[in-house]
Amino acid sequence: MAYTTIDNPELYMQVKLWTGTGSTNALTFDGSEDMQPDLVWIKLRSGAADYGHRIFDSVRGVHKTLNSAAASTEGTETNSLTVFGSDGFTVVDADEVNQSGGSHTYVAWCWKANGSGSANTAGSINTTKTSANTTSGISINTFSGTGSNATIGHGLGVAPTVILCKNMASGSDNWNWNNFSISSLGNTGRIYFNEADGNSAAAAAWNSTAPTSTLVSLGSNGENNGTTMILYAFAPIQGFSKFGSYVGNGNADGTFVYTGFRPAWVMYKRIDGSGSWYIHDTKRNTHNPANSQLIAQEPDAEATGSSYDMDILSNGFKMRNTGGERNGSGNVISYMAFAEAPFVNSKGVPCNAR
Q: Read out DSSP for 114-166?
A: BTB-B---SSSS--SEEEEETTTTEEEEEE---SSSEEEE---SS--SEEEEE
Average pLDDT over residues 135-149: 97
Backbone angles phi and psi of 252, in degrees to 5: -65, -25
Using a 10 angstrom Cβ sphere, with 0-12 exposed, 13-18 middle and 19 or more buried, the burial of residue 137 is: buried
- pLDDT band for position 33 (cuts 50, 70, 90): confident
Instruction: Tell me the C-alpha distance between 36 and 183, whole Å.
Output: 35
Tens digit of pLDDT for each residue in 264-279? 999 999 999 999 999 9
Average pLDDT over residues 136-153: 98
Does the pLDDT value for residue 339 go beyond 70? yes
Average pLDDT over residues 86-102: 93
Does the pLDDT value for residue 1 go beyond 60? no
Q: For the chain, percent helix, then strand, then coil, each to nearest 5? A: 5, 40, 55
The percent of residues in the chain predicted with pLDDT above 70, rounded, is 97
- pLDDT band for position 316 (cuts 50, 70, 90): very high
- pLDDT band for position 5 (cuts 50, 70, 90): confident
pTM for this entry? 0.96
Does the pLDDT value for residue 348 go beyond 80? no
